Copies of this chain bind each other. A is one copy, B any other.
């Protein structure tokens, strides 16, 4: 644990201090109940007191176990946070009061991650010898943890593996769900590394009124859409928790290791669990953490526990991996690195992310060209003016316009996108024309996805989902 310097400004965020305090409080209690030696207890108590002073300085509040700093998610799992202007971002809720969407720069500060700046993008380009993916160029993937270390290791011929996942809550996947998979496929291609994809059907079973059979079926159906993104079967292992955990002693052992070193106080603070929550939910975070450690997949990594992991995911998943990075050194494993993406805005506006449970917010992967056209025309929130005259005069606001936001995700050509931005801002391009441009981009993209998905047979799915050695040697 980094030393806390009482006389210099504390460099840790309030949340980081809170999480350290939680750990240290549990440590003091554990030492006392194990009747450890007095000097050991005293030292631990001293550190606890120091951290409390830092916390008070940082937040103006006294530390209280189980009560995270005011601007954190867990106080209000069912709506935006109390403190003015703060966005709500956790694995189960994403919302903001701003029509522009979540303030990602503020989120980086709050979560304590690092911005993916031009220097890092250039470095990725250099190391891989490839043009950076448009998601990097456009700031869709905008934040990271330890990416420079991953590149350092890679340059020294030390490989890493990719890990991402999906919570299969229904068969209905939308274009927003594809974002991490599109990017992960690119990473797999340019770095040529193995990839594991976790389908958390056990999580959906625990959180939703669904049977295990239903959740497993969603896993298999979602796997087809994921495979249709173009992953290489010789480099990719896709697994359902309900299937794999009971087929992998080392995975279970890692879950247990993590569960031994994470307390209820910690998950209360990070995820907002309460005493009324079932014990399955409370211990689930260890299951999402376990794939970060390479010996969870002994057949792929030859039993090695020391391989670097890189996790591309949406920023709302970060709490799981903050917890994982905290526990990793305590159980002798390397911390996973992360690449975070922004949310895919809902059709009605960027205050919320696109959600399968709200059909009017979503473009589904099963939508017909007609449905895509109708949804964009009817529901996509417009940053344009109410009349053509006003629009020509004052121009539109691409920062609020959902169609423009979608184009920034899916239109490859930077110059073309920039021209559209300028023309829309100036009023030269009308809302209807912008929407048409988007529709003409989305329709072939989704049609091509559906075509590829048609060719994903049950046998192909089975191949991806069979625990096996991949084409890499370790």
Chain A 13-47 per-residue mask, 1 if CB under 8 angstroms from chain B, else 0: 00000000000011001100110000000000000
Residue picked from A249, A277, A280, most chain B C-beta under 10 Å: A280
The reply to whether B263 and A277 contact each other, CB–CB distance below 8 Å, is yes
Chain B residue with Cβ nearest A286: B279
The reply on A312 being an interface residue by CB < 8 A is no
Chain B's nearest CB lies how many Å from the CB of A29? 5
The reply on A392 being an interface residue by CB < 8 A is no
Which residues of chain B are near A286, meaning CB under 8 Å? 279-280
Chain A 261-272 per-residue mask, 1 if CB under 8 angstroms from chain B, else 0: 111110110000
Distance, CA A253 to CA B202, complexed state (A): 8
Which residues of chain B are near A262, meaning CB under 8 Å? 278-279
Chain B's nearest CB lies how many Å from the CB of A263? 5
The reply to whether B256 and A280 contact each other, CB–CB distance below 8 Å, is yes
Which residues of chain B are near A275, meaning CB under 8 Å? 65-66, 263-265, 268
Residue picked from A26, A33, A279, most chain B C-beta under 10 Å: A279
The reply to whether B78 and A33 contact each other, CB–CB distance below 8 Å, is yes
Stretch at the interface among A228-236, A240-248, A335-343: A240-248
A206-256 with Cβ < 8 A to chain B:
206, 209, 212, 242-243, 245-253, 256
27 contacts between A and B (CB under 8 A): A25-B276, A206-B256, A206-B260, A212-B256, A242-B249, A243-B249, A245-B246, A245-B252, A246-B246, A246-B248, A246-B250, A246-B251, A247-B247, A247-B249, A259-B279, A260-B278, A263-B276, A263-B277, A263-B278, A264-B274, A264-B276, A264-B278, A265-B276, A279-B282, A279-B286, A282-B282, A283-B283
Point out residues on A near B: beta carbons under 8 Å.
Answer: 25-26, 29-30, 33-34, 65-66, 78, 202, 205-206, 209, 212, 242-243, 245-253, 256-257, 259-265, 267-268, 273-280, 282-283, 285-286
